[in-house]
Amino acid sequence: MSEFRGEVSIVLGGAAGQGIQTVEGILTYALKRSGYHVYANKEYMSRVRGGINTTEIRVSSRRVRAFVKRIDILVPFKQGVLSWVAHRISENTVVLGERENVEESFLDSINLVEVPLTKLALETGSQLYLNTTAAGLIVGLFHGDFGAVEEYIRKRFGSKGENVVGKNIEAAKKGYELGVKLCEEGTIRVEVERDEKVREEILLSGTEAVGIGALAGGMNFLSFYPMSPSTGVSTFAAQHAEEFGIVVEQVEDEISAINMALGAWFAGARAMVSTSGGGFALMSEALSLAGMAENPIVIHLAQRPGPATGLPTRTMQGDLNLVLYAGHGDFPRIILAPGSMEEAFYLSAEAFNLADKYQVPVIILTDEYFVDTYYNLPKPELKKVRFERHIVEAKPGYRRYELTEDGISPRAVPGYGEEVVIANGNEHDEWGDITEDAKLTRKMQKKRAVKKLETIRKNAPLPKLFGNEDAKYLVVSWGSTLHVVEEALEKLGRDDVALLHFSWVYPLNPGTKRFFEDKTVIVVENNITGQFADLLRKELGVEVHHRVLKYDGRPFSVEEVFDALKGVVE
């Protein structure tokens, strides 16, 4: 008998086009509705058909929010899956599937539980129902709520007619009954405690968290050119455009996208563009226009490995330097990098207030791992979201680029007030007219690049500390590495190791430096050079003693971070 207690890590593997995402959708929805904590993340090759894609689903009695290397139950839908994940298979892994989907070289070394998925699908009417049968099988192992399976199938396939819905429910039921039977016969035993509060929680992906947060922040215009892994935010906005009364435009290229958004802000809208590293590179000149014209803009950048096309469907935290230094000339910007769905929601909403207030580009940095991850969480509290407008009336004597002590000039929009409102990409005087006066140029440069930056810096929030302030070791995470480091430290179980998480990445509040005093500093990040570690040294003079880096296009696993940290502290 194979027995799993407290938590199960399930991996589904197959070719693109085999319906792996359908199984993932059924499982996460039904098991969450059954009272289990769930976490899911996918990895997929850059192809429409074929190849090997996998999905990891963790089902637990406690909150789980990070990727693990361990596989408890593996469900292969084609040959080649076991070879692809061989480094993750252990003697405790149960391979649940058909013999024909297992390579010969593995047959003598794995715990194979054969299940006739194809036979059951054909009994239902077609091999097309194989994935739904498999989903039912796994829900059955947990004795999950089959009503939730039916509910999901009706939502997912309702537009295809009652016959398709009925057949999928029938297929899922056959799988469910087989899963229950495997437990009753003692082949597999799953004992995971339910949490009734989970039933009422929501399932949210990184893509959805950014999209919903932007809507909560008052976004009413989004322009984009498709580029994975960022496109999901744009399609999410498009799907809800009519409901929320927003404009979503797919344009001919990224240059058009950012210039449309700049124009929308100038006219009084709250606009965002969504892109990836290559698309952002094309936006560099317009970013400088935003800097000179002091025009707000919110940019969501979902990172993937570069340079160039790189690995377009995989993950990396390699674009921090790109967004830090993009654009010619000196001008401030704000960089945010959420590490949780909650942070993605609240920071995406706040990004619009920040852009409006400081009149600078605000960049939300996510990555493929983050946008494609989802898990259950309590509903965000909308009352915590502030909606701020920083627009003034252009009364007689209004000066768009008035020289101020904090570097922030009053911003009006055309049509609100008597005065003409000017935005200028050339150097300008306080009214916005072009100037080449040397003294005035120095004042304007200082206003933008020094005074405004210092205002933002002193108002920047401090990072979040988890653990003992007096800990000897300080582990630093930023963006999507939060949960994997958090769980690794929980597993490490040492009081002398604390975690400092940055979701506000730039500019850094000078008060942040106190967290690093008398500490051995370890930075964990998904890139080859340690870009955030370099930023800490540049901004705060912090010496980073150890860099834990990963740069193969895959996310960190809890086990990898645990081993790396253990190697440092022990």
Q: Which pLDDT tens digit goes with each residue over 231-275?
A: 999 999 999 999 999 999 999 999 999 999 999 999 999 999 999
Taking Cα atoms as reference points, which of 460, 304, 438 lies closest to residue 371? 304
Confidence of residue 382 (pLDDT cuts 50, 70, 90): confident
pLDDT at 17: 82
Contact 188, 114 (CB under 8 A): no
Q: What is the mean pLDDT of residues 121-135?
A: 94
pLDDT at 71: 98
pLDDT at 46: 83
Helix, strand, coil % (nearest 5) of the chain?
Answer: 40, 20, 35
pLDDT at 521: 98
Q: What is the mean pLDDT of residues 151-169?
A: 94
> How far is it, in rounded angstroms, from Cα 402 to Cα 404?
6
CATH class in words for 204-384: alpha beta
> How far is it, in rounded angstroms, from Cα 430 to Cα 14?
62
* Half-sphere exposure for 385 (CA within 13 Å, toward CB): 23
Taking Cα atoms as reference points, which of 39, 20, 143, 167 lies closest to residue 81? 20
> How far is it, in rounded angstroms, from Cα 162 to Cα 168?
10
pLDDT digits (tens, 9 = 90+) for 451-510: 999 999 999 999 999 999 999 999 999 999 999 999 999 999 999 999 999 999 999 999
CATH class in words for 464-569: alpha beta
Residue type (1 letter), 137: L
Record the tokens describing residue 63, joined without a space: 């909150």
Question: Percentage of the chain with pLDDT > 70?
Answer: 100
Domain 2-200 in CATH 3.40.920.10? The answer is: yes
First-to-last CA distance in the chain?
A: 36
Confidence of residue 50 (pLDDT cuts 50, 70, 90): confident
Question: DSSP letters of 389-433?
Answer: -----B-TT--TT---TTSPPP---TTSBSSPP---SS-B-TTS-
Record the tokens describing residue 475, joined without a space: 């582990």
pLDDT at 47: 78
Taking Cα atoms as reference points, which of 61, 70, 91, 63 lies closest to residue 9? 70
Least confident of 42-46, 48-52, 244-248, 422-426: 48-52
Confidence of residue 1 (pLDDT cuts 50, 70, 90): confident
Tally helices (H) and strands (E) across the chain.
20, 22
Tell me how long the chain is. Answer: 570
DSSP-derived 3-state class of residue 314: coil
pLDDT at 49 over 80: no
Confidence of residue 51 (pLDDT cuts 50, 70, 90): confident
CB-based burial label for 344 (10 Å; 0-12, 13-18, 19+) = buried
> How far is it, in rounded angstroms, from Cα 93 to Cα 482?
27
CB-based burial label for 559 (10 Å; 0-12, 13-18, 19+) = middle
Query: What sign for the dihedral angle of Cα 74, 78, 81, 83?
Result: positive
> How far is it, in rounded angstroms, from Cα 65 to Cα 487?
8
CA trace torsion 161, 165, 168, 169 (10° rounding)? -160
Q: What is the CA radius of gyration of the chain?
A: 26
CB-based burial label for 196 (10 Å; 0-12, 13-18, 19+) = exposed
Neighbours of 425 (CB within 10 A): 15
Query: Judging by DSSP bridges, how do beta strands 50-60 and 37-43 pair with one another?
Result: antiparallel
pLDDT at 314 over 90: yes
Burial 455-471 (b: 16+ CB within 10 A, else e): bbbeebeebeebbeeeb
From-to residues of CATH 3.40.50.970 in the chain: 204-384
> How far is it, in rounded angstroms, from Cα 333 to Cα 363?
8
Taking Cα atoms as reference points, which of 124, 220, 221, 219 lies closest to residue 173? 124
> How far is it, in rounded angstroms, from Cα 273 to Cα 466?
33
From-to residues of CATH 3.40.920.10 in the chain: 2-200
Record the tokens describing residue 184, joined without a space: 């009753």
pTM for this one?
0.96
